[in-house]
Amino acid sequence: MTSPADPFATVDAHDTSSNAQYATASDTLKSPNSTTDSRTGLMSPNEDSRLLSPSTSPNMQEFGTRLSRRSPLNPSSPPVSSFNNSRQHPSSNASTSSRPASRSSSTHPFLASKHHNGSNDSDYSGPPFSPSTLSTMGLGGSTGLGLPLSSGGGSARGSMILYRLADDPATLRDSSFLQPPRMTAGMRDSVASSSGESILSYADSDSKYPSGVTTPRGLVPYVYDPTTDENDPPDDEDLLHDPDSKEFFTKHGKREFPWRGVLNVTVLCTLILGLLCLFVFYPVLSAYRNSERDKKIEGNLRINGTGQSPVLFQMPELIDPDTPHSARTRIGFDGHEYELVFSDEFNVDGRSFYPGDDPYWEAVDLWYHATGDLEWYDPQQVTTKDGALVITIDSVSQTQPGLTHGSTAPFTTAENHNLEYRSGMVQTWNKFCFTSGYIEVAVTFPGPNEDTQGYWPGAWTMGNLARPGYPATTEGMWPYTYDTCDVGTFPNQTRPDGSGPAAALYSNASRERYNNELSWLSGQRCSACSCPGSDHPGPRHDFGRGSPEIDIFEASRDKSRPPVGGTVSQSAQFAPFTHDYMIINTTTDHWQNFNPPLTRPNAFRGSAVQQSVSGVTRVPSDMFQGSPQKRFVTFGFEYWANPRNRDEGYVWWQVDDQQTHRVGARSVGPDPEEEGGAGIGPRLIPEEPMAIILNLGMSPNWQTIDLSTMIFPGEMLVDYVRVYQRRDAINIGCDPPDYPTKKYIEDHLEAYENPNMTEWRWERPRNRLLDGC
């Protein structure tokens, strides 16, 4: 038998033969100042009682202390005793006759004896609380204390035991004996809620989680009553989940528009749209905007398929950002508005134009033997310096290195392909082309002054189906601009039987070295007479194609007698040829000279390899390399070709911002054989995509060379190149749908990459008039 001083042992030693029942804590533990109402079984507040007061109930004080000390959550405490569950449950039929008739009579004898008899601790012989009371306090059943929870009595929704971390000891010292919070009227008083001197204390007056005086560190049990939480008002910060909140209703009782939900959906949609723009729409737009540029750099070994290039090279755009905004539009000679479609200001020093180094320009490495040049074109002779493109011509006679920025002298003829001069040529062939428009360059010429004689500076354009300096590609292509099926497509422009036309068999304007024959051309390779299935660039087999030429300028000393300084010829080259290379110039629509003091028609009208419509214009004397105050002078031409109305075509030139001369489409019209002509139809103002060429050469076939008037190194500087087109007729690219070139070039790539191939090695299309189909 355990000592009665131990409340747990006393519980076990309690008289089990009695049929007295435990009452709930709220039934048993009343306010110390209450009395019992016999009708209601409630204690009235005037009853004097010291029930459960620690000062008058040492056993209760001992119980609280031992309960805390013997918690299984306190590893240092010894194991606690447990109640004997052999006692009859209050709901059992076994002791029905001894159930109290009212709550007032259900008070345990132990409580009554303590209150009315004032017995001391040694007289204690019963448990201080009923099982339900212990359950309410969190000390029974699942607490691990060995105290059983009652399965009967009270509400069907009982309290539950939860665990929390123990309060900090300092907090416990400061707040363990604070007064508990006042409970709501709907809650019954209990030891935990009503006793001002409860064995449980509250660290926070609003806390639902009371702490024991000697609560150990770690997890401690506490009472959680769901009924209490359900009766609590909704949290202010969680009105979204309170459908009855007045926040959602107007003053008229109608539910407000769900602005919060609309805002949430709007934000989500905005985020999704932003991601789509970033990862879908923007890449598609970039690919569309860069498509033309990508076409021009296709096949460039130093630029990949997405337009990426080595970090040492900055990819230029079609329009150089350094081009002034004032120069990005112009009013054409024809009165139309033009806008800039391509420009290069050459403001980045040290650029390289070796194959693959630039997306638009490429310096060639070859001898231009078609015109009997004296120089070798070498890519190292072309660079940029001080905001200009620099093309330098050197001579083996130079012995001092570094005389100019672009000079590569000294060198020997053995180091220069057995040639005495070395210079440069750059071209946009198959990289950038345009069809109709205005092109302008600003340049200075080599030489000490305007009397220099021997250089051949040039800026010109040529159809993309032929590549300058690659003679196999020019055979049968240059300078044809013809779309008629007749004798003009034949070799030498004569019938196979030699019967004429007479104007082609003999021409007074031709030269003796050509036997005074009108034409020595091999015939138009891809003519309107081509048979179906022929090797033809398209878009149809019966569509005449070629590679015409329009010159911005070709410079020389004035060839008239006496010479009057430097001049430029500005020409358009055509094939086939009219009799004696004549043009029609009866009206200003055919031919017009805008500045007779400076410009005159060129006496050279052609030869057996070309027909030229040209004007010669004097140039300013302060644009030469040795000029004291050298300046850039502009040269350019505007041309228009309309396949739907070919008679409205024209070419219009200017020098130093002054219009010089104009040639109209009708000036190169048909030349009927019955009228003494060559029996050909009209030549066309070029409709082919045109590439740009800049070069500095030397040739006795161009002019007599006078070395005494020349200096080496000689430099031709180009300040800029700009191309404009009508706003409503933008047409750039080397492979337009109506005049394709890409596939044809790819099918005959060897000819376009080998400058030593002088003849076309593939079968030419059959001519239905000449060979039959």
Three-class DSSP category at 742:
helix
2-24 pLDDT, tens per residue?
444 443 333 333 343 333 333 33
Note the pLDDT of residue 493. Answer: 97
Query: How many beta carbons lie within 10 A of that of residue 616, not counting itself?
Result: 23
Q: How many CB atoms lie within 10 A of CB 425?
A: 27
Q: Tell me, what's the pLDDT at 766?
A: 95
Pick from 47-56, 96-105, 281-290, 505-514 the range whose average pLDDT is largest: 505-514
What's the mean per-residue pLDDT of the chain?
79
**Across 450-462, average pLDDT:** 98
DSSP structural state of residue 145: S
Point out the least confidently predicted range of 57-66, 275-284, 590-599, 743-752: 57-66
pLDDT of residue 240: 57
SS (H, E, C) 300-315: CCCCCCCCCCCCCCCC
**Is the pLDDT reported for residue 499 higher than 80?**
yes
* C-alpha to C-alpha distances, 687 to 51, 144, 437, 644, nearest whole angstrom: 116, 100, 11, 11
Query: What's the mean pLDDT in 668-675?
Result: 96
Residue 360 CA neighbour count, 13 Å, CB half: 26
What domains does the chain contain, in order, with CATH numbers? 7-231 (no CATH), 237-289 (no CATH), 325-753 (2.60.120.200)
The span from the CA of 49 to the CA of 36, in Å, is 11
242 band by pLDDT with thresholds 50, 70 and 90: low
Phi, psi of 493 (to 5 degrees): 60, 30
Q: 358 phi and psi, to 5 degrees?
A: -140, 140
Ranges 222-236, 628-642, 721-735: which has the least confidence: 222-236
More confident residue, 674 or 294: 674
Q: Are strands 375-377 and 421-423 parallel, antiparallel or unpaired?
A: parallel
Residue 427 scores a pLDDT above 50: yes
- Please provide residue 283's backbone torsions phi and psi, each rounded to the nearest 5 degrees: -60, -40
Residue 168 has what pLDDT?
58
Judge whether residue 370 has pLDDT over 80. Answer: yes
CA–CA distance, 770 with 105 (Å, rounded to integer): 136
Highest average pLDDT, of 72-86, 98-112, 183-197, 550-564, comes from 550-564
Length, in residues, of the chain = 773
pLDDT at 329: 98
Confidence band of 241 (pLDDT split at 50, 70, 90): low
pLDDT for residue 393 is more than 60: yes
pLDDT for residue 92 is more than 90 = no
Question: Residue 710: is its pLDDT beyond 60?
Answer: yes
Q: Residues 125-136: what's their mean pLDDT?
A: 44
Q: Exposed, middle or buried: residue 669 (CB in 10 Å: 0-12, 13-18, 19+)?
A: middle
Predicted confidence (pLDDT) per residue in 547-568, tens digit: 999 999 999 999 887 878 999 9
Q: Confidence band (pLDDT; 50, 70, 90) for 401?
A: very high
Angstrom distance (rounded) from CA 332 to CA 724: 9
What share of the chain in percent tops pLDDT 70? Answer: 67
User: Residue 224 belongs to what H/E stretch?
Assistant: strand 219-224
Give the three-state DSSP class for 520: coil
Dist. CA 756–CA 462, nearest whole Å = 20
What is the model's pTM? 0.63
Query: In what helix (H) or strand (E) does residue 454 lie, and over which residues does it extend?
Result: none
